[in-house]
Structure 1
């Protein structure tokens, strides 16, 4: 019986891809999707993970300059040009999917080292975003059918109005969009039930 030679480039690439894929599935579908039920972002980040893994694997096997590396991360900035804003948690998970691809694809690191780092990343993400960690405050995205005159000028009054409307203690809120044409306000509300 022949043993697998993990230093063979094909086996090493297969092992790195397997570690990356399992870690990404755990992060995006085992943690993010189960907690937030956002299929679109989970799928998008997972696909981006696979694409980034492929590109970074090629780039790490050839000589390329630091400028090329900065160019690659500049491409990530295009993600922020979307018309819809995404939350900080969504950005964190999306970056996590990218980080896993980077960790797993860069040549020159041992497979055991890669596996240990990936496990650390997954444990950290699981702990830091665990529902019991910060369970006392929840959030909701609201669309109001009229723009209150004090939405920006008197935040305490607006917070009190939102608390009364929602029947919860609004801790803070964030105005996402004011549309004076349609008289709509989009607001993120952070509240304690």
Structure 2
């Protein structure tokens, strides 16, 4: 019964985390995963904290969970950050057992770090796409200019994963964000560039 206040604090914290995630990224299918991770870790660590095993096994559990990879879909970096934040909140609440200024402050710090680190003004929205171009590009400067004209966007990073000189194709993973006025004319200046190029969005 002494752990009930800590359980309530953890519930408030994880609901705030999920609310922030939904507000920023609007992906409700991950909300259940974050809640399940938090509650599951909280339940296990709460039991371990009252047993003779001690908190050491709880920290080991954190290490085991930290290397789990979900094979169904690839998580983006910000989604992994929320995943570990939910895990951390559950672990801290379960190990602490009873609320204190330090514990509540640490849990609040996790939420503040997410709010600041995932703020749109700090990290402008960008998209990552895998593109197959109908030309074998070997000049990175020319490839970057071609991609900016094709997408009508500012290219932040372009990584060539395959260059086929026989079939004259290039596979590139490009990260881009909406560009200013200086780039908006790029797509209209080359209306035919989009033909023959395959695009597949792989994350944000």
TM band (smaller chain): 0.7 to 0.9
Shift of 1:99: 0.7
Shift of 1:25: 1.0
Structure 2 gaps of 5+ residues are: 180-204
1:60 paired to 2:32:
no
**Once the two structures are superposed, what CA deviation does each residue of 1:56-75 show, in whole Å capped at 9, x if it has no partner?**
11112113274674355224
**Once the two structures are superposed, what CA deviation does each residue of 1:87-138 show, in whole Å capped at 9, x if it has no partner?**
1111111100111111111136643332222222222221222122233xx3
Task: Specify whether residues 108 and 38 from structure 1 end up closer, same or farther in structure 2 by C-alpha distance, changes over 3 A only.
Answer: closer
Structure 1 gaps of 5+ residues are: 1-9
SS in 2 for 1:160: helix
Task: Specify whether residues 154 and 104 from structure 1 end up closer, same or farther in structure 2 by C-alpha distance, changes over 3 A only.
Answer: farther
Q: Which residue of 2 aligns with 1:28?
A: 18
Spell out the pairing of 1:69-88 with structure 2 (5 A cutoff). Answer: 69-78=59-68, 80-88=69-77
Q: Which residue of 2 aligns with 1:160?
A: 145
State which drifts further: 105-114 or 140-149.
140-149
Aligned-residue CA RMSD in angstroms?
A: 3.0
Q: Which residue of 1 aligns with 2:89?
A: 100
The structure with the larger Rg is 2
Shift of 1:191: 2.5
* TM-score (ref. length: structure 1): 0.73
Query: How many residues get paired?
Result: 173
